[in-house]
Amino acid sequence: MKKYIFTLNELSDCLNENKCIVIYGAGVWGQKLIDYIFSVEKQEVVKGIAVTDKTGNISEYRGIKVYEASELFRQENCFILVAVSNRYLEDVRKMVERHCLGQYSCITWNLISSMQDRRKRVGWNGKIDFLVPGFPKCGTTSIYYALKKFSDIYLSSKKENHYFEWCDNVEEPFKVLGDVYFNDIREGQIVGIVEASYTEKAQRIYNTFGGDIRLIFLLRNPVNSAFSDFMMMCRDGSPEVEEAYQKYNGTFSVEMFDEYIKYQKSLEYDNFNYAHWISEFMNYYPREQIKIVFLEELLRNPREEMNNILNFIGSENEYDADELPHVNEGKYVMADIESYRSTRQKTTLAQELRGIRSSGRQFDEKYEAYVSLYMKEGPAKKLYNIKILPEQREKTESYYYESVRDLEKLLDKDLSKLWF
């Protein structure tokens, strides 16, 4: 067999000649290859997915289990299809040659390109079919990656477009939105947006996208969401968190969460007063166009809940995995104020770059500064496995108690066992 596979015909020969195939690589290339194999109904020959290290990797893809390479390489008569990007290809190829008992071939970029969706592109007509407008820190990123795997659903290559942050500062903003974020829609696709920053913008969403769209809200125990949001701020930055670092002598302390809650209490309605924000949307959209998904139930039964979501937005696909993609888990905070300030600079530049890119202006200088800060982030001091204190959980539950009861009334659902 050829060391490198360049064409679909060569891949077809490989799939027909080998009854036991292992895909090396669980990333984008591996998943694209498996998607294609499913499309030609040859999935029965794939016996597993191999990765160098299972830590942090998915446990299966489309029902095909992921194994550490050392486990699968012991099997004789299995053909290895190496599906990793050029960045890792040489190291993986050498490792396969050292340890593999069977033959192997490497997937090439030419082949990956030929697998791309060849349906006719259609111009964006300014309409979307569904929107996931919230809530932050409730699993919207996992939903984005789960939905993006389906060919009948279009989501932009970047999860969030932050349209309402920059639309008032550019000419023809809706055209810019289409050119940048909706430029690869294929015929027959369901068009959606996943944007947790839209939570507080019911009226603007209605005025911009109309009243026919379907809305999906992801909700999570507000105490857990708030603490996760606090940790994100301690990675990416906000003036309130900077003040908290200063209060604790420039060093992270979990007691800084108390300052975060004080700030939330100063707001008329914070992000996790779910009942208020959903009620705002109900002023513009009928209940049958709104789906409420509880993250705890989604994680407990992802297959059933994801299929309910797919059915709600009109997709004919079926979710056949037993877990959601693990992304954006945010397991660390910056250990001190100096490390925090370096990442805060990077976040500020990223926000500026969004506006510059969206308006079509040159942004080389700022982008180079962003890359420089990104490279410096590695040595920044981080703390992992930060946990909310028991007394903080108790106080925060008390703070959100009334809003949870309001949500129960709004949705006619008892949340006392699910949350508190």
% of the chain exceeding 90 in pLDDT: 60
Tokens found for residue 363: 């942004």
pTM recorded for the entire structure: 0.70
Determine the 3-state secondary structure of 24 from DSSP.
Answer: strand
Q: Which domains does the chain have, with CATH numbers?
A: 4-114 (3.40.50.720), 130-221+271-313 (3.40.50.300), 231-268+328-411 (no CATH)
Reported confidence tier of residue 117, pLDDT bands at 50, 70, 90:
low
Q: What is the pLDDT of residue 273?
A: 97
Average pLDDT over residues 125-153: 94
Residue 260 has pLDDT above 50, yes or no: yes
How far from 109 is each of 46, 58, 157, 327, CA to CA, in Å? 21, 23, 19, 25
**5 alpha-carbon distance from chain centroid:** 31
Reported confidence tier of residue 169, pLDDT bands at 50, 70, 90:
confident
Q: What is the pLDDT of residue 87?
A: 77
Q: 173-220, pLDDT tens digit by residue?
A: 999 899 888 988 988 999 999 999 899 999 999 999 999 999 999 999
Reported confidence tier of residue 118, pLDDT bands at 50, 70, 90:
low
Helix (H) or strand (E) holding 342: helix 337-359
Reported confidence tier of residue 368, pLDDT bands at 50, 70, 90:
very low
Q: What is the pLDDT of residue 9?
A: 80
Give the C-alpha separation, 38 to 62, whole Å: 9
How many residues in total does the chain contain?
Answer: 420
Q: What is the pLDDT of residue 1?
A: 66
Tokens found for residue 414: 């008892």
Average pLDDT over residues 262-268: 93
Pairing of strands 60-61, 64-68: antiparallel
Q: Which residues of 260-269 are buried (b: 16+ CB within 10 A; e: fewer)?
A: bbebbeeeee
